Homo-oligomer: A and B are copies of this chain.
């Protein structure tokens, strides 16, 4: 059986469009997988919002993402969207879910195998669902973000579309932060490091925690420390063109950290807290620095000139592109088809 005869359903989240206009890491990755599979000859149906953009067949139940349209009830939309793919299960050889724990609860009601990429465990309270369905097929997005006892087939690193993030010719003058404005992402730590270093800081990203912004970010904004709001791909590239380094001083373990790869792709070194997957995405001393304290971060900034910007992009090209990711998923799909064939014997 050739790839073209293998029918894969990609179940994307519906918080945002696939791919998202600005923020939306899970939708970004689902999009990259869908488009990558199409390029490689698979028969792909993308289950996503109706305004999604794809070369796969689009199957939509919800017009817009619930984060982009307040008339959409998230609970109603999720139940309708997730059940839809399972009602069409017989049309597919594989359902590849990016929809967290909820999709698992439909998986035993269909014969089609279900692969779940776990983009993160959003809370300890969802673990009972993974425990119940632990004999399913799972992929982790980093070695560090794994739960014990699940049936992981592989770690597949997230991949980005390199063409979207061209190499920036020369270093900029500012430190940059790119991510959700949320305590988990350590915006306040980036501000502290910028002040200690006497360097300007440009902060970009969606405002997720209003109170945190008002208390820990806004009071420090001035000519040197600026918040420019959420950015699209063009905005990210502009940000990277101004960047001396990306500060990613996360306060909880990172699950993957798509933004680290995006910055590196543009040749921008990354200073990241050594928590979770950061040490898998960033090679300490080669594509940035892993730190444990504010002082280490300040010290790392002084060493930024020692980082070879071309090497940053080269590592992304080797490990974190859509192509690498899709090849890895093809391998995982192949394993599942083999295992399923064995079952049916």
| Chain A residues near B (Cβ < 8 Å) | 73, 75-76, 79-80, 82-83, 86-87, 101-102, 105-106, 108-110, 123, 125-126, 128-129, 132
Contacts and interface: CB of A to CB of B under 8 A. Distances in A.
A83 B128 CA distance: 13
- Most chain B CB atoms below 10 A, which of A79, A86, A87, A128: A79
A214 to B, nearest CB: 23
A105 B108 CA distance: 14
Contacts of A105: 79-80, 82-83
B87 A129 contact: no
A109 B128 contact: no
A76 B129 contact: yes
A126 B87 contact: no
A143 to B, nearest CB: 26
Given A106-B109, A110-B109, A123 B83 contact: no
A106 B75 CA distance: 15
B108 A79 contact: no
B109 A79 contact: no
Contacts of A110: 109
Given A76-B125, A79-B101, 9 more contacts: A73-B123, A73-B126, A76-B128, A76-B129, A79-B102, A79-B105, A80-B132, A87-B108, A106-B109
A108 B125 CA distance: 28
Nearest to A108: B87
A99 to B, nearest CB: 11
A86 B73 contact: no
A129 B80 contact: yes
Nearest to A62: B128
Contacts of A83: 105-106, 108-109
A342 to B, nearest CB: 23
Contacts of A80: 105, 128-129, 132
Given A109-B86, A109-B110, A125 B79 contact: no
A139 B270 CA distance: 60
A336 to B, nearest CB: 20
Contacts of A129: 76, 79-80
Contacts of A73: 123, 125-126
A134 to B, nearest CB: 14
Contact of A106 (B76, B106, B125, B128): B106
Contacts of A82: 105
B76 A101 contact: yes
A86 to B, nearest CB: 6
